[in-house]
Amino acid sequence: MQGGAVKELFNVLTPRDAFERLESYLRGPRDTERVPVEQSLRRVLAEEIRSPHELPSFRRSTMDGYAVRAVDTFGASEGLPAYLTIVGEVLMGQAPTVSPTMAETVAIATGGALPDGADAVVMIEHTQEIDRSTIEVFRSVAPGEHVIQVGEDVHVGEMLLERGHILRSQDVGGLMAVGITDVLVATRLRVGIISGGDEIVAPDRQPGPGQIRDINSYTLASMVERAGHVPVRLGVVPDVYERLAQAARSGVEQADVLILSAGSSVSTRDMTAQVIASLGAPGVLVHGVSLKPGKPTILAMIGDTPVFGLPGNPVSCMVTFDLFVAPTLHRLSGGRGLPPRQSITARLTRNVASASGREDYFQVRVEQRPDGAWAEPVFGKSNLIYTLVKSDGMVRIDLDKNGLTEGEWVQVILF
Amino acid sequence: MQGGAVKELFNVLTPRDAFERLESYLRGPRDTERVPVEQSLRRVLAEEIRSPHELPSFRRSTMDGYAVRAVDTFGASEGLPAYLTIVGEVLMGQAPTVSPTMAETVAIATGGALPDGADAVVMIEHTQEIDRSTIEVFRSVAPGEHVIQVGEDVHVGEMLLERGHILRSQDVGGLMAVGITDVLVATRLRVGIISGGDEIVAPDRQPGPGQIRDINSYTLASMVERAGHVPVRLGVVPDVYERLAQAARSGVEQADVLILSAGSSVSTRDMTAQVIASLGAPGVLVHGVSLKPGKPTILAMIGDTPVFGLPGNPVSCMVTFDLFVAPTLHRLSGGRGLPPRQSITARLTRNVASASGREDYFQVRVEQRPDGAWAEPVFGKSNLIYTLVKSDGMVRIDLDKNGLTEGEWVQVILF
C-alpha cells in the first residue's frame, strides 16, 4: 500500500499543468450557428464584428438649446449678450430644413441633427428669449461644443467585437445601433453525464437499505446549464465493467463532451479509469491532480471528445467541474481566457491550514458586516451535500502556501 | 430657467431613498408555479423547504477499509497489531448481511452501509491481510471514526432552503438527495418595454436623415432576460402625448412591470412624466434622483404595477435599470436583499473627481496585471453606446465623496 501511495503522489500534476495537457487538444468553436441578436445574450461570438458605417451618421446635439455658429457667440456674457435671430427649429427624426448663417440660430433638442452652417450648441439655460424670433446668448461656446461628431461613437470598419467575446446586454444594444440583427455564435455543446454506482437510485424512488439518491448527475447537469450548454443525463450505471463501458461508448458517440461521475470507492474509481482508457486514442491524459478535494480526477481525449472522470463526492464533483470541465466548454466554444466566474473579495474569519504542494479548496459562508464582507469557513466531510448548500462559495489555497491567516483578504468564488 | 433648475435640485432623492419609496409598495412573490427541480436553476423559491427525512438514512463509511468495533483496535500499533477475523463484506447498495462481534470485522468500501455492531472504520492503508479471513490492524480508531452518522448531513425537519432563496446547482443536487423533485417558485415576471422618440427606427431599417436605430429597448430586454424574467417589447412610440399614453395604458394592463425609455430631450421627458402621472394612483413616487448619469429617472406605481421612466441615453438606461428595475424584479419575485450582481475588486489607475451630494457612476475597463486587477476609467459622452461596449463594468462614487484616488481599491460592478 505504501508503495502505491508514493507512486500516485509522484504522478499527480498541478491543476494548471493538468488542464494545459488537455487544453492542447481543444479547438473551438466546434460548430457555429447564426442567431438573432435579440437571442444572443451570453453566447460566444464566432465572427469578428466591424462597424458597417459611421455612428452617429449625422452630427447630433447633446443638449436642449440652439444650434449656432460658435463664432457668433464669442465674447458673449451676462453683461454683454450676443443677439441671434431664430430662423427655424430642428424636428426630431427629420433632416434640418434651414441653415443658420451669420447671427442666426436654429432651435434644437437633445439628439437632434445639427443643421449645416452650425458647428456648436448653446444650452437653453444660457439663453433668454427676447421675442419669438430673437434670443440673447450669455455664454460663448467653442466649435464642436455639445455636439457628437459623425463617427464619434464608432467609425466605419472599426472593430466592434472580437471573435470569442461573450455577448452582454450592451453588446446587444450596440449591434442593433449599427443595424446588425444577427450574429454567428458557437453552437451550444451537448454534455453527456453518466453516474456510476451500485448504491445510486433515481431521486423519485425510495432508496432501499444501503442505497442513496442520485445527486451528482443533477448537480452536474445544472452546472452545464449554468455554463450555457445542454446537459444530457445518460442515466445511472451499476459498477459492472461492461455496463459502464457500453454507456461510455454510447456517450462518446452522442455527446460533444462526456462526464463520468464515478462511484466513491477506490475499486469503482479504478473501474472508471479502466473504462475510459479502453475507449480509444489519445486516451487518458491525466490521472490524479494535486488538489483537495478532487485528487482522483481523470482527464482524457477520445478522438475529438473530452472525457472526464470526476470523483463521486458532491464537493469534489463541483470543484473539479469548475477547474476542468467549465474551461473546456469555454475553449470548445471558442472563448478565450478563463470562463467568467462570479467572485467577491472578503476577509477570512480564522486561520486555515493547508499542505504545501497541493491546491486546496474550502467552503465558506459570506457575512456582510459593517466593516465589509467576511468569509467564514464551513467545514464538513466532503461527502455531505449540505456542506455545499450551506456555503456561498469556495476559497482557494495556492499550491505554494501552507495556509491562510485570519483577517487576510481572499477571493471567494461564488457557487 | 434658474428657478426651475433649483426646484428640481431640491426635490431629488438619493438613489437609496428613491428605491425605498417604491419598495414600500412591493410585495412578492406575485404568482407562483410548481416546477421540476431539474428546471429550477436561478428561480426564486416561494416555499421553505425542510428535510422530509434524515440524510444519510443509514450510517456510511467515508473510507475503503474494514468496519470494526473501535474497542477491538485500542492500543493497536505497527509493533503490536490487533488481529481481526473477516466475517464478510458489505456490498454497495445493499444492507449488510453480517454483523461483527468481538474481534471480528467486515470489509467495506467508501459509501457502504456500516453493519450493526460496528462503530468505526479502519482505513485499508492501516491494515495488512494475513490470509483470506484475518487482518492485522496497525492503528487504533475512535468510535465514529470514518463514519457518517444517520442525519449528519441533515436531520428530519431541518430547514434546508428558505423562501426567497435563489436556487443554485448544489441546491438542485441537495433537493434531489432528499427526494424532493419539484418546488414552488415565483413565476417569471412579464416586463413591458416602450421606447419613445420621433427619431427612433427599428434596427433592421435604414435610418433616414436625423433618425437613429432603437438601442435601448433591446439593451433593456436583454437585461430583463439576464435578471431571469420575460421582456415584452411593446414597440417604438412617437413623441405624441396620446400615442404614448395609449401605449402606456396598454402596457400597464398586459405587463407585471412597465418601463418607458424616454426620448432624450427635456420636452419628451416631460411628456413621459405627464403620461405616467395620468395613468392612475398612487402615481409618480419619485421624479429626479441625485445620480449621474440617470438624474431624470421616474419611479411610479400604477395600481399594483411598478412603472419606470428611464432616461433615453444608453448609459443612464443601464445604470438606472441596475439601481431600480433589477431590485424591483427581485422584490416582486419574493427575493430578499439585493439581487446578485457580478463584481470584482480592482485598483483605480487614476484620480476621478465627483460632485459631493450626488452618486456618480463611471465606466471602467479592467486590466489584469502581474500585481492584480486595475480599473481604467473609460470616459465618453453618455450618449455613446460604444463607451459601454468597450467597458467591462462601472464604479460607484458614493454620495458623500468628492472623488476617488489613484491606487484606491474599488468595487467594479461587471456588466
Q: What CATH number is given for A343-414 in this structure?
A: 2.40.340.10
User: Taking 50 as the threshold, does the pLDDT of residue B2 lie above it?
Assistant: no
Contacts of A312 in chain B (CB under 8 A): 110-111
CB distance from A54 to chain B under 8 Å? Answer: no
- Whole-number Å distance between alpha carbons of B135 and B67: 12
CB distance from A172 to chain B under 8 Å? Answer: yes
The answer regarding whether domain A32-54+155-186 maps to CATH 3.90.105.10 reads yes
User: Taking 90 as the threshold, does the pLDDT of residue B10 lie above it?
Assistant: no
A340 preceded by a cis bond (ω within 30 of 0): no
Say what the pLDDT of residue A119 is: 98
Say what the pLDDT of residue A1 is: 34
Q: Hey, what CATH topology would domain A60-148 get?
A: Molybdopterin biosynthesis moeA protein; domain 3 (2.170.190)
Interface test with chain B among A166, A170, A367, A392, by most B beta carbons within 10 Å: A170
Inter-chain contacts counted by CB atoms under 8 A, chains A and B? 286
* Burial readout B175-196 (b: 16 or more C-beta within 10 A, e: otherwise): bbbbbbeebbbbbbbebbbbbb
Distances (CA, A) of A122 to A62, A64, A72, A132, A381: 10, 8, 11, 17, 69
User: Taking 90 as the threshold, does the pLDDT of residue B415 lie above it?
Assistant: no
Band (pLDDT 50/70/90 cuts) for residue B276 is very high
At B182, which amino acid appears? D
Say what the pLDDT of residue B7 is: 39
Question: Per-residue confidence of chain A (415 residues) as pLDDT tens digits?
Answer: 333 333 344 468 999 999 999 999 999 999 999 999 999 999 999 999 999 999 999 999 999 999 999 999 999 999 999 999 999 999 999 999 999 999 999 999 999 999 999 999 999 999 999 999 999 999 999 999 999 999 999 999 999 999 999 999 999 999 999 999 999 999 999 999 999 999 999 999 999 999 999 999 999 999 999 999 999 999 999 999 999 999 999 999 999 999 999 877 888 888 999 999 999 999 999 999 999 999 999 999 999 999 999 998 888 999 999 999 999 999 999 999 889 888 888 999 999 999 888 999 999 999 999 998 999 999 877 678 999 999 999 999 999 999 999 999 999 998 8
Contacts of B148 in chain A (CB under 8 A): 381, 383-384
Say what the pLDDT of residue A265 is: 82
The SS3 call for residue B319 is: helix
Cell representation of residue B166: 435563489
Q: What CATH number is given for B2-31+188-332 in this structure?
A: 3.40.980.10
Cell representation of residue B310: 428611464
CB distance from A206 to chain B under 8 Å? Answer: yes
Stretch (H or E) spanning A250: helix A241-254
Cell representation of residue B225: 432576460
Say what the pLDDT of residue A6 is: 34
Listed in sequence order, the DSSP H helices in B144-236 are 169-177, 216-226
Contact A168 B415 (CB under 8 A): yes
Query: Which residues, listed in sequence order, are joined to residue B374 by a DSSP beta bridge?
Result: B347, B367
Q: Write the residue in B213, B264, B266 that is nearest to A177 by C-beta.
A: B213
Say what the pLDDT of residue A352 is: 95
Contact A176 B345 (CB under 8 A): no
E strand map for B164-248: 182-186, 190-196, 200-201, 212-213, 230-237
Contacts of B176 in chain A (CB under 8 A): 203, 213-215, 218
- Whole-number Å distance between alpha carbons of A210 and B60: 8
Say what the pLDDT of residue B11 is: 65
- Whole-number Å distance between alpha carbons of A238 and A211: 12
Say what the pLDDT of residue B6 is: 34
Single pTM value for the model: 0.94
Burial (0-12, 13-18, 19+ Cβ within 10 Å), B104: buried
CB B266 within 8 A of CB A110: yes
Interface test with chain A among B123, B135, B211, B222, by most A beta carbons within 10 Å: B222
Contacts of A387 in chain B (CB under 8 A): 153
Residue pLDDT, tens place only, B59-105: 999 999 999 999 999 999 999 999 999 999 999 999 999 999 999 99
Distance from CA of B282 to the nearest CA of A (A): 31
CB distance from B136 to chain A under 8 Å? Answer: no
Say what the pLDDT of residue B382 is: 67
User: Other C-beta atoms within 10 Å of B11: how many?
Assistant: 10
User: Taking 60 as the threshold, does the pLDDT of residue B9 lie above it?
Assistant: no
Cell representation of residue A281: 486514442
User: Taking 70 as the threshold, does the pLDDT of residue B4 lie above it?
Assistant: no
Contact A200 B93 (CB under 8 A): yes
Lowest mean pLDDT among A19-33, B6-20, B109-123: B6-20
CB distance from B244 to chain A under 8 Å? Answer: no
CA-based nearest residue in chain A for residue B56: A212
Q: What CATH number is given for A2-29+187-332 in this structure?
A: 3.40.980.10
Give residue A279's Cα distance to chain centre.
Answer: 32
B296 preceded by a cis bond (ω within 30 of 0): no
Interface test with chain B among A128, A139, A175, A176, by most B beta carbons within 10 Å: A176
Strands across the sheet containing A190-196: A230-237, A190-196, A257-261, A305-310, A298-302, A282-287
The secondary structure of residue A199, as a DSSP letter, is: T
- Whole-number Å distance between alpha carbons of B389 and B290: 25
Domain coordinates in residue numbering, chain A: 2-29+187-332, 32-54+155-186, 60-148, 343-414
- Whole-number Å distance between alpha carbons of A325 and A18: 12
Distances (CA, A) of B145 to A340, A370, B89, B137: 40, 40, 19, 15
Listed in sequence order, the DSSP H helices in B255-305 are 266-278
Residue pLDDT, tens place only, B171-203: 999 999 999 999 999 999 999 999 999 999 999
Distance from CA of B357 to the nearest CA of A (A): 22
From the candidate CATH numbers 3.40.50.300, 3.40.50.720, 3.90.105.10, 2.60.40.420, the one assigned to the domain spanning B33-54+156-186: 3.90.105.10
Q: Cα Rg for chain A, rounded, in angstroms?
A: 31
User: Other C-beta atoms within 10 Å of A123: how many?
Assistant: 18
Q: Write the residue in B1, B64, B344 that is nearest to A266 by C-beta.
A: B64
CB distance from A345 to chain B under 8 Å? Answer: yes
CB distance from A1 to chain B under 8 Å? Answer: yes
Say what the pLDDT of residue B356 is: 83
